[in-house]
Chains A and B, each alone.
Chain A
Amino acid sequence: MIQALFIALSAFGLFMALGTVFARNLVHAALYLVAFFFVVACQFVLLEAEFMAAIQVLIYIGAVAVLLMFGIMLTRNITGDETTIVTGQWRLLGIGVAGAVMIVLFLGINGFKPWTDLGVRPEFPVTAESTTPRGQAILAMTPTVGREMMTRYVVPFELAGLLLTAALVGAVVLAQYDRTDETSAAAESPQP
């Protein structure tokens, strides 16, 4: 039952990913991408990482997809036509490379015994008497994430804050319109 659900979900997700790559109209591509993000969130739920699923929906669908949509709208290239995707030989090359990568990865997964043996995931029973850290982490992920961020991962946590600040400040600088901006295409002569 759950396996059938997984297969249906995964097939849908991969189909959406293909749509993102092949759609001529970029708005459609972004909508496919949203569906793909949602499938990934569902996969996280199947992996008992509900906190990550929530983060996935909030950040990817709520922020990243909206940002991408803004980018598409502001560059007006939405109709796309032939220009958003390569044609002919290049398309074959892309499909070929991706297919080869996928086959090699599948072979790698099949050939690595510790992974193929893991048909059943380990259980971490949480009872009143005994709780393992892992069981606790799965059962109540949010407080555990918070604790980890404030102890072991405190430097990455602060660095992530710095990264977001830098990205915000930088994006504002880039997108801001200056008087010194050079907007017309012919203003700068090509370099010698």
Chain B
Amino acid sequence: MSSGLILKDFLIFSPVIILTIWGLLSLILDLTVLANADSDTRNRGLGMFTLLGLVGSLVLCQYLAFDVIGPAPGKDSRIFSGTLNGGLLYSQFASLVLLFAILVCCLSMVWSFTTHWGEYYAMLMWSAISMIILVAAEDLLTLFLSLETMTICLYLMTAMEKSKRRSAEAGLKYFVYGSVSSALFLFGLSLVYGQTGSTSIESIGHVLSTTEKPGLTGNVAGGVAVLLIMVGFGFKISAVPFHQWAPDAYEGAPAPVAAWLASGSKLASLVAMVKVMGGALGTWAVTSSPTSPGWVGLMAMISAATMTYGNFTALGQTNLKRLLAYSSIAHAGYMLIGVIAVGISERREEAAAALFFYLVIYGLTTIAGFALATWIDRDRGSEAVDNLNGLGRKHPYIGVAVCILMLSMIGIPPTAGFFGKLYMFMEALNVGGADRVTMIGLVALGLFNSVVSAFYYIRILKAMFLRDSDQANLRGLGPELALPLFVGSALTLLFGLRPAALLEDMEQISMSGLTFAQKADDQMSASAAITPVVLPVRQLPISIPTETKPATPATGN
């Protein structure tokens, strides 16, 4: 039976509640105080107001994390009768989402691409809220509802640049693909509910791991359910072959919204994916017999296709936003390797932590990359990469920042992108059992793709440093653009020099927040006992220049 409401749950949840009301207030302010102001003034005013709310919620989250929630591993940290996580997973990922939202909010104040500012900032805050709830959801109902709320807010934000046709087109394309995928996803959820009788992620994992047949042997309905759920998540994180909306939506959306699509929504969807695929459906991951490959095989194919397609298509792009879109597709491919590792590794928590590390770094670099796109969008009105010609020499600080970002996206030390890839690939190589060969192949493909990706990232750098500009100067960055760009690159460098700090935080989160079915772990260690191959990796507080990359030694302590 469900117990009643507990006041403390609302206290833990207060950042979200405050932000919801803040969104309504921004609508009201737009219609009252700022009713007669011009678009730029309203943008500034409401942007500052939103920033205040976001920063306030972020501070509150951190306060709660230290004072109310506390790092209490082992304790059941779920709130609201077990439908939401109220522990570190919630507070830390909420802080991250809010950090991304703050950076996106700064970008939004750069220039007035719409006239509906109250609604725009309300949508920004509400989509941030749904991302927070999505990350914290422990119940399929909450998960699906927050996923939908998030995407509906994002459709609206995409289409809000009403002075341009392509914005409306991008919104409609995103909407059609997104709603079809969520219908498929929902049908998959209904089949899972039918097989387990439950919507709670933990009990689904429990039920599936205690049924007599391991894996998906002879269970066609379960296979279909997994397939449909993967289609749903694949759309949200733009994995091939469900990626068609992404380049169009990113190109058509205003640059700040594209940054939000690429960072916040991908972060939240991937964390939810780890929970559902790893936590609830983890038992169905493994290859139990030749006739039932589990979802690992399929996911491996998707991952390989996603990174290869994303990187090779990005090579030919001339539009910066489209290039970043394909790069974000490619990164989704790398992240899927991490998801697979979470599904079948013995060290699931560590694998999840490595994936989260990668996600954080990816989000920061992507927002900073879109800051660059916002800049040329504002001053040149087009996003062609040629617009960056010569900027590196005229603005050396920006040049250095972009240089760090691009190195991080390729995965070259001493940036954090390198350690993200390193940790994730190490966890993938750590997998034992029948799927070990698959993982080695995937990691090899990932490394090859990183090399390919270097070509287009370096093209941006080449344009910035080696070419001469034939056009008028861009205006200076201004604080709104400088903040995301420099915060993004500074954090990328900082976590590259001290990756252990972030990794430990992520490990704490995944240890305390993720629930994996226990019996599945037993099966896993049994299968690993047959093939006892465990690489001696991962006492890394980082000193190992490993076999995966020619790392420079002495990066950090």
Q: Do chains A and B touch in the complex (CB under 8 A)?
A: yes
Query: Using a CB–CB distance below 8 Å, which chain A residues touch chain B?
Result: 104-105, 107-109, 111-112, 114-115, 133, 148, 150-156, 158-160, 162-163, 165-167, 169-170, 173-174, 178, 180-182, 187-188, 191-192
Is the Cβ of A159 less than 8 Å from the Cβ of B145? yes
Contact flag A166-B133 (CB < 8 Å), given A104-B220, A180-B115? no
Q: Given A154-B80, A163-B149: A108 and B223 within 8 A (CB)?
A: yes
Which listed residue (A108, A115, A188) contacts B165, Cβ 8 A? Answer: A188
A192 in contact with B382 (CB, 8 Å): yes
Contact of A173 with B119 at beta-carbon distance under 8 Å, contacts A152-B81, A159-B130, A166-B126 already known? yes
Contact present for A107 and B220 (CB under 8 Å): yes
A159 touches B5 (CB 8 A): no
Chain B residues whose CB sits within 8 angstroms of the CB of A165 once the complex forms: 24
B159 in the interface, Cβ–Cβ < 8 Å? yes
B367 contacts partner chain A, Cβ-Cβ < 8 Å: no
- Interface: B555 (CB within 8 A): no
22 residue pairs from A and B, CB less than 8 Å apart: A104-B220, A108-B224, A111-B220, A112-B219, A112-B222, A151-B81, A154-B80, A155-B80, A155-B84, A159-B149, A160-B145, A162-B126, A163-B148, A166-B149, A166-B152, A166-B156, A169-B27, A174-B159, A182-B163, A188-B165, A188-B166, A191-B166
Measured in the bound complex, the distance between the Cα atoms of B4 and A150 in whole Å is: 8
Chain B residues whose C-beta falls within 8 Å of the C-beta of A174 in the assembled complex: 156, 159-160, 162, 171
CA separation between A49 and B223, bound complex, in Å? 29
Chain A residues with CB under 8 A of B218 = 111
Interface SS of chain B: helix, strand, loop or mixed?
A: helix
Residues of A within 8 A of B382 (CB): 191-192
Contacts of B84 in A (CB 8 A): 155
- Find out whether the CB atom of B219 lies under 8 angstroms from the CB atom of A111: yes
| A163→B220 contact, CB < 8 A | no
Residues of A close to B27: CB separation below 8 A: 169
Complex A-B, nearest 6 residue pairs according to Cβ-Cβ distance, in ascending order: A108-B221, A170-B156, A108-B220, A152-B2, A152-B81, A163-B149
Give chain B residues whose Cβ lies under 8 Å from the Cβ of A187: 165
Chain A residues with Cβ below 8 Å from B153 are: 166, 170
Which of B80, B164, B221 has the most C-beta atoms of chain A within 10 angstroms of its own C-beta? B221
A184's nearest neighbour on chain B, judged by CB, is: B165
Q: Please, how many angstroms separate the alpha-carbon atoms of A174 and B115 in the complex?
A: 11
Contact (Cβ within 8 A) A155 B152: no
CB distance from B91 to the nearest CB of A (A): 16
With A155-B142, A166-B122 already in contact, 17 other A-B pairs whose C-beta atoms are closer than 8 Å:
A151-B2, A151-B4, A152-B2, A153-B83, A154-B80, A155-B84, A156-B145, A159-B133, A163-B148, A163-B152, A166-B152, A170-B155, A174-B160, A178-B162, A180-B162, A181-B162, A191-B382
Q: Is the CB of B4 within 8 A of A182?
A: no
* CB of A185 to closest CB in B, whole Å: 8
Complex: how many Å from CA A163 to CA B134? 14
Cβ of B545 under 8 Å from chain A: no
Inter-subunit contact B81/A112 (CB<8 Å)? no
Contacts of A170 in B (CB 8 A): 119, 123, 152-153, 155-156
In the complex formed, the residue of B with least CB distance to A171 is: B156
- For B540, the chain A residues whose CB sits under 8 A away are none
In angstroms, Cα B161 to Cα A188, docked, is 13
For A161, give the chain B residue with the smallest CB separation.
Answer: B20
B248: shortest Cβ distance to chain A, in Å?
11
A192 proximity list for chain B (CB < 8 A) = 318, 382, 384
Contact B145 A188 (CB under 8 A): no
Best-surrounded residue of B27, B126, B222, B223 (most CB of chain A within 10 A): B126
Most chain B beta carbons < 10 A, residue from A114, A158, A169, A170: A170
Asked whether any CB of chain A lies closer than 8 Å to the CB of B56, the reply is: no
Could you tell me the distance between the alpha carbons of A182 and B199 in the complex, rounded to whole angstroms? 46
Of A150, A154, A155, A173, the contact of B156 (CB 8 Å cutoff): A173
CA distance A153 to B139 in the complex (A): 10
